[in-house]
Amino acid sequence: MYKEFYGFTENAFNITSDPAFYFESSRHKEAYAHLLYGIKSRKGIICLTGEVGTGKTILCRILLNAIDQRIKTAFILNPNFSQIQLLQLITKDLGITARNNKLDLVSALNEFLIDQTAQGHNVAVIIDEAQNLNTHQLEQIRLLSNLETEKEKLLQIILVGQPELLDKLQKPALRQLNSRIGVRYHIQPLQKDEARDYIEHRLKIAGAPTKLNFTDEAISAAHHFSKGTPRLINILCEHALLAGFVNETYTIDEAIMKTCAKEALL
């Protein structure tokens, strides 16, 4: 509804992980650098964490879209599978054909990794929502990280998850895995001065008219109620634009934002 009223070409504040709307905050820039360093330096296991809605998944998509073609990748979005199913997903995503038993899957993966390394290539597997992995699955990942030559890791595994992943990695049963994590980064929410840049960035991508104005007070309120979490900012701004449409106004002020925060239970 408000899309036509404001003249948007698309919705500005969808909560999907759309790379077209990616906003590179200082934290996301640092996180990206850590991921790229970990992969290119063959650090083996890399851990990226952040609260719900801080932009972890979209950052992974940006990385996959920009990464060197000599780096073969697999992206596992939902790791709620058995150990063998996880292996099947990884091999399938990498284009590896193997029988569906653990020994053959690991053997085929190892041959693939050796071949890629011989060609000067690298292989990275990104596992999103890694906080949902159980102890046995995480132990499987540790064993996969053992695939190496005398000088370097053959497989780079990026564990991406919520802060609960950090708690899980502290368990005594996972101390070997935790000690092998070569690169760690925790994405913090947007700072207050980044909130306006973030909102204006999304509005510009969506084709918003120049007369549409989020006041400074409205943006401060959005940052306050969302605590700087991009997904919550999106939810607030989506509600605010709908309220603006209902009231036929191009000015989103503090009163509108506060009302929307109450409606969104923030």
Supply the mean pLDDT for the chain: 93
Helix axes 192-205, 216-226, angle to 10 degrees: 110
Q: What angle do CA 236, 240, 242 make, to 5 degrees?
A: 120
The 3-state secondary structure of the chain reads CHHHHHCCCCCCCCCCCCHHHCCCCHHHHHHHHHHHHHHHCCCCEEEEEECCCCCHHHHHHHHHHHCCCCEEEEEECCCCCCHHHHHHHHHHHCCCCCCCCHHHHHHHHHHHHHHHHHCCCEEEEEECCHHHCCHHHHHHHHHHCCCECCCCECCEEEEEECCHHHHHHCCHHHHHHHHCEEEEEEECCCCHHHHHHHHHHHHHHCCCCCCCEECHHHHHHHHHHHCCCHHHHHHHHHHHHHHHHHCCCCEECHHHHHHHHHHCCC
Greatest pairwise CA separation for the chain in angstroms: 67
Residue 141 and residue 155: Cα distance in Å, rounded?
10
The per-residue pLDDT for 255 is 96
Q: Which residue intervals of the chain bear CATH 3.40.50.300?
A: 26-187
Closest listed residue to residue 161, CA positions, set 77, 230, 221 = 77
Residue 202: count of CB within 10 angstroms of its CB: 23
Mean pLDDT of 238-259: 95
Instruction: Note the pLDDT tens digit of each residue in 67-126.
Output: 988 999 999 987 777 888 888 999 999 999 888 888 899 999 999 999 999 999 999 999
Residue 266 has pLDDT above 80, yes or no: no
Q: Taking the domain 26-187, which CATH number applies?
A: 3.40.50.300
- Give the pLDDT of residue 171: 94
| Chain CA centroid to CA 168, Å | 19
Query: Do 21 and 59 form a contact (C-beta atoms < 8 A)?
Result: no
Q: Please report the pLDDT score of residue 82 as a whole number.
A: 82
Q: Using CA atoms, how far apart are residues 238 and 98, in angstroms rounded to an integer? A: 47
Mean pLDDT, rounded, for 47-74: 94
Contact present, 202 and 58 (Cβ < 8 Å): no
Q: Are 19 and 62 in contact (CB under 8 A)?
A: yes
- pLDDT of 53 reads 95
In the chain, CATH 1.10.8 covers 191-263
What integer pLDDT is reported at residue 57 of this predicted model?
94
- Thinking of the domain 191-263, which architecture would CATH place it in? Orthogonal Bundle (1.10)
Cβ atoms 71, 39 nearer than 8 A: yes
Predicted local confidence at residue 99, as pLDDT: 82
Residues 185 and 99: their CA atoms lie apart, in Å, by 36
